[in-house]
Structure 1
Amino acid sequence: MGQQVQGEDRLRSVWWPALSDGLRRAGAPEGLLAEPDVAIGFYGDLFRPPGQLLAAGDPPYTARDVDGGFEQELLAAWWREAAQRDPEVAPPDADDTLVATPRSVQAALRALSGSRFFADVALRLVVADLKQVRAYLTDEPTRERVRARVMARIGPDTRVVVAHSLGSVVAYEALCALPGHGVRALVTIGSPLGIRNLVFDRLRPDPVWTCGKPLGEWPGGDALTWTNLAGTGDVVALVKDLRPVFGTRVRSALLSNGTHAHDATSYLTDELCGRAIAEGLA
């Protein structure tokens, strides 16, 4: 989310050093991964308004631009999670649970602005992120275009897929749509995949009900290892353990990412992340 004015090379320049540090923390052999071996599945420009200049920044969204339904419900979920993780954030009242009115939308945005997680994030960017998630999960043409970008980067020699935030949803669906792929390790970081109703229940392919509960499709063959890392204070990854909805084969772990709980590089530099990547490359 929020990368629409970036690009493949710019993101690789940020991710590559963090990937290297994570591999080093994990004790991986020097030279196991080289920068030319890293490809970025970029799709942020698809969310960029047509004709918008780089200097123009993001649209000047306000609380009035948060649409009803999906966007308000996801905002409410973020608010509840932030209140649980940060004692400085007042929890929503019972009447505000679904953020059903403009007044309660403003209350949610105001509460999030005072949290450690969203302290450095402009409120217009929070609204923009809500709209990106909604667009991917509810607008099929957008979903197909975004997913095609990522699928094009997964070739016969791709062994590891590392996916952050909304990108983890895209990567999961891309792998499910590529039967027989050779990916050995999927590493999801800061992922919202486990959020029922808003995210999990909207996945493609549809989750299958087994023994009275829904189960997401495994995104590969038996040789695929899936590691999910969630920061303890990461509001976006509000469901930390993916095993209940994707099966016990998912290796789930909690990380302490400090005040930058959702930042991709905070995940990539961790030993557990480096180890999961190294295992897929070995």
Structure 2
Amino acid sequence: MTAEWGKAINRGLHAVQRPQMPTGDLELPHWTGLLARGADRLGPEDDPFDVSVPLTEEESEFVAAALEDVVGQESLERVEEGELQTLGLPRLWPARFTRLVMAYDRRFPRGGGKLFVSAMREVRFYLYEPDLAARVRSLVAQAFGEDTSVVVGHSLGSVIAYDLLRTGQIPQESVGRVRTLVTCGSPLAIPSVRRGLGLMDGEPLKLPGGITWVNVFDPGDFITGGRGLESWSPGIADEQVHNGVADPHKALIYLRSEPLARAIADAVR
């Protein structure tokens, strides 16, 4: 994964005519294995958030709230007027939950609703399992060094990176060298996610002084709800990209984007 990320970032740097990132300059803490509830890897057959795994009551409440944050009442009302359809969706889901996913799919076609549900289950696991979250933060914090200047976080990784930086859980000698946080495909625009971090509604997203925050997002990205982060803090600079229709949330597509490359190059020059 480190090699793939490095190749994608260098492709973006080449596109904006900036120097390539040397081999070894990228440190990628592999925290996802911790989400497998004790397994040493997280393959398709180990995924505790797969659509085939029944949701707990707590998961249903969190994911439904996140869906409501994104789809809006008007979209939900339009779906509720029609016939309930379960094609491709688990029949054990409650009717309102299924309608929320249907409303989401109207906005993000090609199965975005199911992917959103899976992603939000993973996000909830981090937000509301404190022992797990502490282990994840500890692992990621160890990747910071005195020469760390840029932090890049994709999807849930953006939540973890923000959580670490805002709560001061990285040694000062390491975080003091960080110039830029780059988030991409971030679900931090969703109020339910921010509440899970202990932020009040309307409370801005803040970082320690001196750190520039660039957020790269695709309006068609089903995990972000198509939203950027500028409206949640005047200090965040949104950069809009178009990642195509196949998988607009894919990390490697974000990583090779020109806005992300410029943010990294500006921080290390």
Higher share in helix: 2
Equivalent runs, 1:205-224 vs 2, <5 Å: 206=199, 213-218=202-207, 220-222=208-210, 224=211
Q: Bigger shift: 103-112 or 186-195?
A: 103-112
> Would you say the 8 A contact 2:150–2:181 is kept in 1?
yes
> Would you say the 8 A contact 2:102–2:113 is kept in 1?
no
Q: 1:103 Cα deviation (Å)? A: 1.9
State TM-score, norm by structure 1: 0.75
Distance 1:75 1:21 in 2: 34
SS of alignment partner, residue 253 of structure 1: strand
Letter in 2 for 1:263: K
1:199 counterpart residue number = 193
Q: What are structure 2's unaligned runs of at least 5 residues?
A: 85-92
1:240-279 Cα shifts (integer Å, max 9, x gaps): 2323322x22111211111121111111111111100101
Structure 2 residue 180 is the aligned partner of structure 1 residue 185: yes
1:229 counterpart residue number = 216
> Would you say the 8 A contact 1:65–1:127 is kept in 2?
no
Structure 2 residue 28 is the aligned partner of structure 1 residue 58: no
SS of alignment partner, residue 69 of structure 1: helix
1:279 counterpart residue number = 266
Question: For the structure 1 residues 42 and 94, does the alpha-carbon distance in structure 2 shift closer, same or farther, using more than 3 Å as the test?
Answer: farther
Distance 1:122 1:192 in 2: 14
2:243 counterpart residue number = 257
Q: 1:143 Cα deviation (Å)? A: 1.5
Q: 1:216 Cα deviation (Å)? A: 2.5
Q: 1:21 Cα deviation (Å)? A: 0.7
Distance 2:225 2:103 in 1: 17
Q: 1:42 Cα deviation (Å)? A: 1.7
- 2:126 maps to which of 126, 131, 136: 136
> Would you say the 8 A contact 2:218–2:226 is kept in 1?
no
SS of alignment partner, residue 153 of structure 1: coil
SS of alignment partner, residue 216 of structure 1: coil
2:65 counterpart residue number = 73
Distance 1:16 1:281 in 2: 15
Question: For the structure 1 residues 146 and 114, does the alpha-carbon distance in structure 2 shift closer, same or farther, using more than 3 Å as the test?
Answer: same
Q: What are structure 1's unaligned runs of at least 5 residues?
A: 1-10
Question: For the structure 1 residues 195 and 126, does the alpha-carbon distance in structure 2 shift closer, same or farther, using more than 3 Å as the test?
Answer: closer
Structure 2 residue 150 is the aligned partner of structure 1 residue 160: yes
Equivalent runs, 1:118-133 vs 2, <5 Å: 118-119=110-111, 123=114, 127-133=117-123
2:140 counterpart residue number = 150
State TM-score, norm by structure 2: 0.78
Letter in 2 for 1:201: R
> Would you say the 8 A contact 1:188–1:229 is kept in 2?
yes
Distance 2:106 2:78 in 1: 12
Distance 1:56 1:63 in 2: 11
Distance 1:244 1:128 in 2: 26
> Would you say the 8 A contact 2:180–2:213 is kept in 1?
yes
> Would you say the 8 A contact 2:104–2:113 is kept in 1?
no
1:7 counterpart residue number = none
Percent of residue pairs bearing the same amino acid type: 28
1:17 counterpart residue number = 7
1:214-233 Cα shifts (integer Å, max 9, x gaps): 22332x322x2110011010
Question: For the structure 1 residues 148 and 108, does the alpha-carbon distance in structure 2 shift closer, same or farther, using more than 3 Å as the test?
Answer: same
> Would you say the 8 A contact 1:63–1:105 is kept in 2?
no
Q: 1:137 Cα deviation (Å)? A: 1.1
- 1:26 maps to which of 13, 16, 36: 16
Letter in 2 for 1:200: R
Letter in 1 for 2:221: D
Question: For the structure 1 residues 92 and 138, does the alpha-carbon distance in structure 2 shift closer, same or farther, using more than 3 Å as the test?
Answer: farther
Q: 1:110 Cα deviation (Å)? A: 5.7
